[in-house]
Structures are given as C-alpha cells and as structure tokens.
A and B are shown apart, each in its own frame.
Chain A
Amino acid sequence: MDLITKERDRLLQRTARVYGLSFTLVALLCFVLPGAVSGAALIISLPLFVVLGVAQFRIGISRSPVWLALSLGAGLAIVVVTCTVGDRPSQAGFTAVLELAAASLAASGLVLTSNAPRIAALVIVFLVVGTTLLLLTSDLQAPLRTAGIYVLGWVLPTLIAIWISAGVPQVAKRIASIGRAHRAERQASELEAQRRQGARLLHDTVLATLTLLAHSGVGVTPEALRQQAGDDAKLLRQLRLGTTPTPNGTAGATVGTATSPIQVIDEPVLGTTLESVKQRFGRMGLQVSWHGTGQVLLPSDHLDAFLLALAECLENVRRHSGVTEAHVTITEDNKMVRAMVTDAGVGFDISDIDDAKLGFTESVVARLRDVGGNARLFSAPGSGTTVVLEVPRGDASTAEAGQ
C-alpha cells in the first residue's frame, strides 16, 4: 500500500478518535444528569461508556476492525439499555442517547470510507443503529425529526472523510513534483560539489596563502602576499562564476592582462604543476630547486595528494627551517613516484612533531596513505630536515578510472 495512503488512514483514525471521544463525553455529561435515565440503566451503562471510550481511543491508533465493532457494540448497548431498563429516559436522557447515536457512533463514518467492504459495513451499521434508535425513542420525539438529526449526524463525518481523501491525491501529486525537483537539485548540488572539490590545485594554492595569512604573513613581503592573494581571489572568482581554473605557473606575471592566464586543463602531468608550486614559493621567498624527472604521469587523485603533501612540506621549510632554499628531488620507478624534500635548516626533534604538526599528519600523511602512498620524516636539531613522499604510479587504466 502507498505510504501516503497509510498516512491518510492514520489521519482519519485520529480524527475519528477526537470526534468520537468528544461526543461520547458530551453524551456522558447529559447521561449522568439527575433524573436523565433510570438508576438501573445508569449502573449498567457506565461500564459500557468505559468500554466505548477505550475502544474509541484505540481506533485512533489501530486499524483493526475489532475496536470499531467494540465501540459500536458498546454504544448500541447503551442506547438499548437506556431505553428499555427501568423508567423511560427523560428529555435529558434522550439528548444523551441522540448525542451517542447520531454523533459519537457516527465517528465510525470517518474510518469506514476507504474501500468497498468498509463502505458496506458503514451502510449496515448506519441502518442498524438508526433503526434501533427510531424504534426505541419514537415516543420521546417525533421520529421524522430524530431521523433528520440522525442522518445529518452520520452524513457529516462521512463527508469529512471523503473530502480529506479527495484532498490527499492532490497533495501527493504536488509532493511528488517537489520530490522530482529535489532530486534534480541534489544532482546539481552533487555536480557542483564535485567541480569545487575537483579544483584541488586551486584550493591547494588558496590553502597555502591562507596558511601564510594565518601566520599574519610574517616572513613574506606584503607586496608578494598581496599579489598572491589577488591571484588566488581571481581564481576563486572564476570558480564561482562557473569555470574550473587551474593555477598557472606564470599567473603572477600575467594576471590582469588581456590574455587569460587561466588554463582550463585537467591533464595529470606533474611537470607543469610542479612548476606552479615552485613559482608560488619563489614569490614567498623560498627558492625551490628541482632535480630529477621532469614529466611524470599520475592519476589525478594521486597527483592531488602528492602535490598537496609537497606544498605542505615546502611551507614547513619556509616557515620553520630558517633557510631560503629547499631541494626537491623527484624520482620514479615502475611502481612509485618519490619526492625528497631537503633543506639545510635548523631541523627539529622528531619526537616534538606529535602536537605541533598534527595538521600535517592529518591532512598530508592521511591523504597520501589514502592513495596508497606514504611519507617519512628525517630530522635532527641543527642538521636540516628531509621528507620523503611517495605515491604509487598507477597505470594508464587506473589513471582513467581516477578521473
């Protein structure tokens, strides 16, 4: 069964509960007024009212016809007992009986419209209760008037149920169209996130600049930092406006000229991208010397991890080593690409790295390990630092899959 149909039934059940219980309460209040019904009828009926109340409460949460039958049985029994046991009910007693038969029990109409068997049951119940009521109270009020009130009382909840049921398909249709729109929105959002996350190189340079700024830009000339910030801001703006820019090695020289410095390329060639890292650090005052392989092909996720790790290492050199030159040696074999970052700076005690470089371990080492690589760190106070980064090459097919 449709889930919304289930929800609709639940709604009708709860409505039937409120409807039935409210009128049961009103009937009970009239019922216990002094002189309304005979003493014997009162004593017999009170437990029946309890049964009726419990059954109507259960109708609100259970679709089982047992509770429905129980409530109708109890209600009918009260009507019969009131009119046949002891003295005839007074006008107040008759009001109670009418409230019960024409309003409280009529709440069943709310839950008896959903399918053919239930509608048949509704008709039968309506006839049985109505006939009983009319036969037993014909002397208390003109039967025609009683019948009018009774029919009105049963038609009302049935119409409410039909009206609600008619409203549900309309709502379901609109909700479904909202759902379709949402699915498209989700796909678009997914693509957008992929595009932004895919711009790893751009984010690497932005992150490097932000990290510099986090240290108040100490150690870099304000002009260089402004230049770098301006370049990065331009890249971010282009990303925002819909293209996927890649930082270019010569960006610093040509940004703002007529020829766009931004290349929309996604080729996983290490050579050009290494150059951009070098340029960036050159501007910050760290001379990076490259040694070894110039062109290395890597799957893009491997390349990302590799470059991020490399940039982080160089940033550490720039910030902490106290020297202005670093050497990067790239080597490769059949399985791995390695980078060895060395400086002749102050070095440090490896055991200090835990808290001080937590970010480094988290972001760089973890990301290298994700692609099957690793990072190793060698240093001692006074004798410089060497970091070895390695990532697996992957073959051409993995490179395809990595896209």
Chain B
Amino acid sequence: MTFSAPEENTLGVVVNNARRAVGKTARRLGRASAHRASLGTAFLGLGAAILVGLRCVYGVSWFIGVWGRGAYPQPLAALSAWIVLGAVVVGAIVTSRVIGDRLPDWMFGLFLTGLLVAVALDVIAVWELHDIGRNATAALAAGMALLVVVTVRGSSEILIAAGVLGAGLAVVIFLDTPPTEQITGEWIAPQITAVAAAVLPAVIGVAIVEGFRRMVQVELDRVLVQSTVSAPRYAVGMLASEELARLDLAAEELLESIASKKTALPLAPKMASVAASLATELRLHLIEGRRETWLYHAVSESEMLGKAVTLVDKSSLAGLLDPIQRDGLLAAAWLLVGDTITSNASRTVTVQVGPVAPGETPVPEHKILIPITITTTGVARNRVDPSIWDALGRVGHYSDHTQDSSLRVDIECLVDNPADL
C-alpha cells in the first residue's frame, strides 16, 4: 500500500471557519441531489410528447386541407417536410422514453438537424405564395416538436433552439415578402401569430420544466434536512463520519507504507508535514466533532436554509428540543426562508437559542425553559404564510413583534431538563 497525500483539507467542522465548511457541505449535497432533479420529469415528458403528437395531427390535417385545395406550389416538398418531421418526432419520443435521462449531444444534434430540414422543406413548399405565416404547417409544428426533448436537455439549449427557429422564420418571412401594396395589417398579423406559435410552446414548456425541477429540488432539500429532526442531542452530521473515515484511511496508508519500508525513515520533510497535518485534522475531528446540534446540521446541509439562516446557539441548547418542537422550528424557518414572495437575497433569518435565564418564569418540575428568538430582515409581518403560526405553536408559547419593519418572534420553549434524565 502506498501513501498519497489527501487531496484536500478534509476538516468538516472548523470552529472559526464554519462558513467554509457550510459552503462545502451545501455544494456536496447539491451535487448529490443534482442528478435527482430529473425526478418526475419523465411524467412531464410524456405529457409534452402527447401534446406534440396532437399538434402534429392538427398540423397534418391542415396540410391535407391545403393539399386538397391544390394550393401548394411544391407539394412534394411539403409532403417530405411532414415525413421528415414525423420521423424525427417519433424517433425522439421513443429515444427519450428509452434513455430517460439526458439525450446525448449527437442525438440532440441529429434531432435539431431533422427539424431544420423539415422547416426548410416546408418553407420551400410555400415560398411562391409569399405568405409563409398562413401556409406553413410543418415549419410551425417543428417549434412545438422541441417540447419532446424539453425534459432531457438543458433549458438554455431548448430556448436557444426555439429562439433560432423564431428568428429564422422571421428572416425567411421578411425575405419572402409579397409586393408592397399587399403588406397590410391583414398580412402581418398571421405572420406574427405563426412565429409565436412556433416559439411560445417551447418557451412555456421550458418554464414549466424549470419550475418543476425547482419544486423537486426544494422539496428534496427539505426532506433531506427533515431527517435531522430525529438526530441525537449532539450529532456529527452526515459528512463528519465520512471525513473521519477518510482521515483514518489516510493515516492507515501512511503508517502501512512506513511499516512495509516503502517510505524511508527518517521521513522527508514533505511527508513529515503531511503527517503533522493529518494528526492535526484527526485531533480536531475527534475533539470538535460532537459539539453540533441537529439544527446546525440542518442549516448547514440545506442549500436553502444555509444561504439565509444564521444560527446562534452557543450552548448547543437546540439539541434538547424534542422531535415535535424541532419539526415546528424547522418548518417555521423553512416557511420564513422558502416563502419567497419576492425572490430577493435580502431576506435573512437569525435563530438565537438561549441563553437560559433561570428563575424568571415558573416552570414545571424537571423542565427548563429555553428562550428562542427568531429575528428576520425583509419579512413583513402580514406577508408570512399563516401556517407558520401553527408551526411556531408546536415549538412553544410564542409572541410576535415587528422590529425594524420585519418580523421578530420570541418563543418560550419548554424542554426536559437534561440534569433530571
């Protein structure tokens, strides 16, 4: 076994540098849940596929109508446009159902090329009519066909494709203008509608899928953090044991490589400093690891709470709260942060737990009273979600005020006295 230096500083919890640790945790969890963001989008994709199918049926019936009137200057071009589009759409639907995750770049390229060919053929078919807006069929359905891949490709890619298609249609329409005297509102309106019909479905589809992914992300974040509610009074957090294990392994490999004479003694200065930093990190992990409460881990592990919530809990009193109280407190914090009526970053929440002031209020036997103060900025009293009061009620007796035109809540939280357990 040979030893290699740890790739990065693995300290998860450094007392005077908690911000960094928090950011790292959030990043790592964010990465872990990024690929889960595709949860449920398959169902949306199915809906989109059905819509595209219906749109194509509508487009084809329109095409048959024009064909029947004998209005096509180049009927074969129009027919091949529909054949290409149909093949591309069917192929894309089947492929994205089978692959389910992310469409490979080359397939996406093929798909876009197919759409481009269909649009070009359809434009050629109706060019001599000088009224693309009213006569194009496959070209417009091609815009909607982008919806087939809306759940398996990035939003920006779809938007760019839709934008290019819209701009392309506009240019083609402009190049294909009829004699000037025919250009009236009567002529322009269908052109506008046509471009909109080609572009807007993709835009709306992207908006829906983005919103859906965001919803899933937020809910995942919340559910993952929710598991801290059942954590013990002091906990090491999800990553601490992993980091401790890594440190142990690094130490084992170093010691092993020395024992097996792979590393010469006395150690080179570089290896010696590796050993020193390993010892320091290991020591800090062993000593400091168990001082944090569930609330600290909840805040630091959550992408949403981590950004907005500051926790002040010098005596780690939050660990004394029972699961129902924790659930209430977490839900309240979540509602304050997550209920973004205006999605600005100016909204912050500070949760201060303790200090315990003994003897001020009579408390039942074997209980102590922990004051919890939630101060906020940018949260108007009348704008908070009403269900927050129910959540706060689960934590304890509370009173709310407005401080600096933002909500402030004082909670008197009764918990079991740890000395009596």
Contacts and interface: CB of A to CB of B under 8 A. Distances in A.
A197 B282 contact: no
B157 interface: no
A92 B189 CA distance: 5
A141 B25 CA distance: 62
Interface stretch (A69-77, A132-140, A202-210): A202-210
Interface in A153-207: 160, 163-164, 166-168, 170-172, 174-176, 178-179, 182-183, 185-187, 189-190, 192-194, 196-197, 200, 203, 206-207
B241 A7 contact: no
A237 B251 CA distance: 10
Contacts of B289: 193, 197
Nearest to B294: A186
Interface string A284-311: 0000000000000000000000000000
B189 A30 contact: yes
B252 A237 contact: yes
Interface string A230-259: 101100110110000000000000000000
Contact of A167 (B43, B207, B276, B334): B43
A382 interface: no
B204 A15 contact: yes
A95 B186 CA distance: 9
Contacts of A15: 204, 207-208, 211
B266 A18 contact: no
Given A160-B47, A215-B272, A226 B334 contact: no
- Max chain A Cβ within 10 angstroms of own Cβ: one of B43, B226, B338: B43
B223 interface: yes
A175 B223 contact: yes
A8 B219 CA distance: 10
Contacts of B36: 178
Contacts of B2: none
A164 B289 CA distance: 43
Interface in B222-254: 222-224, 226-228, 230-232, 235-236, 238, 240-242, 244-245, 248-249, 251-254
B340 to A, nearest CB: 8
B324 interface: no
By DSSP majority rule, is chain A's interface helix, strand, loop, or mixed? helix
Contact of A179 (B224, B259, B260): B224
Interface stretch (B192-200, B307-315, B406-414): B192-200
Given A192-B245, A214-B275, A209 B255 contact: yes
A175 B220 contact: yes
A216 B272 contact: yes
A35 B187 CA distance: 12
Given A182-B223, A229-B258, A167 B282 contact: no
A206 B253 CA distance: 12
Contact of B39 (A11, A35, A171): A171
Contacts of B226: 179, 183
Interface string B349-388: 0000000000000000000000000000000000001010
Interface string A6-20: 111011001100110
B273 interface: yes
A232 B255 contact: yes
Interface stretch (A21-29, A114-122, A331-339, A344-352): A21-29
Contacts of A176: 223
Contacts of A172: 219
Contacts of B190: 95
Nearest to A214: B276
A207 B283 contact: yes
B238 A10 contact: no
A222 B39 CA distance: 57
A63 to B, nearest CB: 10
Chain A contact-residue range equals 35 or more
B192 A91 contact: no
B391 to A, nearest CB: 10
A210 B278 contact: yes
A282 interface: no
A182 B208 CA distance: 28
Contacts of B385: 6
B331 to A, nearest CB: 8
B160 interface: no
A33 B185 contact: yes
B272 A240 contact: no
A4 interface: yes
Nearest to A235: B252
Contacts of A4: 215, 219
A216 B385 CA distance: 62
B399 interface: no
A91 B189 contact: yes
Contact of B236 (A18, A166, A193): A193
Contacts of B256: 229-230, 233
A353 interface: no
B279 A182 contact: no
A217 B258 CA distance: 11
Contacts of A124: none
A166 B273 CA distance: 59
B363 to A, nearest CB: 23
Interface in B262-287: 265-269, 271-273, 275-276, 278-280, 282-283, 285-287
B109 interface: no
Nearest to B40: A171
A214 B273 contact: yes
A11 B211 contact: yes
A251 to B, nearest CB: 13
Contacts of A229: 254-256, 258-259
Nearest to B264: A222
B215 A8 contact: yes
Given A214-B272, A226-B265, A11 B208 contact: yes
Given A30-B189, A30-B193, A206 B216 contact: no
Interface of B: 36, 39-40, 43-44, 47, 184-186, 188-190, 192-193, 196, 200, 203-204, 207-208, 211-212, 214-216, 218-220, 222-224, 226-228, 230-232, 235-236, 238, 240-242, 244-245, 248-249, 251-256, 258-261, 265-269, 271-273, 275-276, 278-280, 282-283, 285-287, 289-290, 331, 334, 338-339, 341-342, 385, 387
Interface of A: 1, 3-4, 6-8, 10-11, 14-15, 18-19, 22-23, 26, 29-30, 33-36, 61-62, 90-93, 95-96, 99, 160, 163-164, 166-168, 170-172, 174-176, 178-179, 182-183, 185-187, 189-190, 192-194, 196-197, 200, 203, 206-207, 209-211, 213-218, 222, 225-227, 229-230, 232-233, 236-237, 239-240, 359, 363, 366-367
Given A23-B200, A210-B251, A233-B255, 7 more contacts: A92-B186, A95-B189, A167-B212, A171-B40, A183-B226, A210-B254, A232-B251
8 contacts: A1-B387, A30-B192, A91-B189, A93-B185, A193-B244, A197-B290, A210-B282, A216-B268
Q: Which 9 A-B pairs have the closest CB atoms?
A: A230-B259, A193-B241, A179-B223, A214-B276, A171-B40, A92-B185, A33-B185, A92-B189, A236-B252
